[in-house]
Chains A and B, each alone.
Chain A
Amino acid sequence: MTFSTDLAVTVGSVAMETPLIVASGLWPFDGPFWCEEALGGIGAVSSKGLTLHPRPGNGGVRVWETPSGLLNSIGLQNPGVEAFAGEIIPGLPRRRPLIANVAVERLDDLERSLDLLQAMNLPPEVVELNVSCPNVDGGGMAWGLDASGVRQVLDVARPVWRGPLWLKLTPQAPRLDEITAAAESGGADALVVANTWLGMAIDVDRRSPVFDRTFAGLSGPAVFPLSLRLLWETASLTALPLIGCGGVSSGRDVLAMIMAGASAVEVGTALVREFHAPLRFCREISAYLEERGLRSVASLSGCAREGRKERR
């Protein structure tokens, strides 16, 4: 993977060859996807949301197209941390930093999950705490809605997991200032801004909500301006490294997130439209840098904030 300009970035201590991370929930555990051919343009991969025990996920309709967006209600279908750590990951090539997206159901399960990950021969490079899944009962997004939930989760996770610990926020949290303060004091190393936006759909032919759980998570280009705004606000509140996420669908979107203060960017729904989107984004970013004689994408981080009168 070579580009004519420097696309390498770091998020805290985590170094990546490009600023693009595959967002959780979009990358299969099938071998061919972990080979160089499929990973073009990708700097790191976040796993499907993991729980201690396997989960079958939700019944009924799970995905629904909206104008420029995608509603999903997958419900954390996953093989469980034991299978992930013991069989799945050891059987796959490790060509990029691996981010284990760990969903929080119960605190004792979380502790056990992180123990299992920590004990791997080659643990994931990062744990991304998902306190923001809108599609499950009992935990999920509930942990990320207020500062006390965030603190409880970090107080359990931080002593167990010694590597970089990222916290994936939910846009549904009303007090961003309190959440970021709790993340800082709880020892998070970076924030992912953010998970999906709560939405819904009604099937007028059936005269009923599309999803069994009524509400679902909205992603895709429709949410990009919302995510960008949330990222901008978060960057005003904290000095923690930030990862932008939500609706990124071009190299310019990646640049916008970076200029707003992100160190790296996660890409999810764009892959659904165009599997090799990350490669295209990298080429677009590289061309942008080259045309302007800029040396690296990392040098642009936060540049759109300069001269703005704001806190921090």
Chain B
Amino acid sequence: MRAWSWIRAYSVAVYLFMFAPVAVVLLLAFNSSQFSGFPIEGFSLRWFRRLFENEAIMRAFETSITLGLLTSVCATTLGILASLALVRYRFPGKDWITTLLISPVLVPETVLAVGLLIFLRYLSMPRSFLLLLLGHSIIALPFVVLVVQARLVGIRRDYEEAARSLGAGPFETFLQITLPLLLPAVFAGALFAFTISFDNITATIFWRPAGVETVPTQIFGMLRNSVSPEINALGFVMIVVTVGLPLTAGGLARYFARRRQ
């Protein structure tokens, strides 16, 4: 009994320690004080107002969202195609290709970042937004592949074979049968890809062209001068985007699934 209450207390402490910083950011975002820190002097939305007036931050937001959406589209498309190949077809070197596709998760991001830069130098190409998109897609791809593959394995081939026998060509079969059945995984993968891109800082610092800032690199830049309360508001927005988006999507998916029954 005693051992269990110890474990419980310990777990609570660990979780508190982990989530306290998040709570602090969320709280301080509404603090009216000039200085980022406790005590909380009063409730105010002024830091949010300041945030929306800050052009650099708004530009960074725009970049991040564009980049996130594009990454999501690229990684999801590639991920679906790769999963189809890996699950539905047999070809030599399949295991190697699987490992290769998953490897960006395993390789330290710094190594990946430097690697891609050196490769570009070798091709004598400058850093560009396209490179950033390419890089983010590589980082997000494994997650999409893992999620989509898991779902695809569970979709029996009977469905596709039935569709084919009824007269649907291979592409029609994909559009009519495979893709709709895959959709939950496609959504999950796309969300993953978006949040991974939106959150990424390590690789982005290496890859971004001069003058381009994403939200994380912008925050990083601002922190070097001082911890402005604006950053708390920005943190609040980021948490809402990266946590709220998947939660909302999940809730919507459940809602529609229930209506179907």
A, B: real partners: no
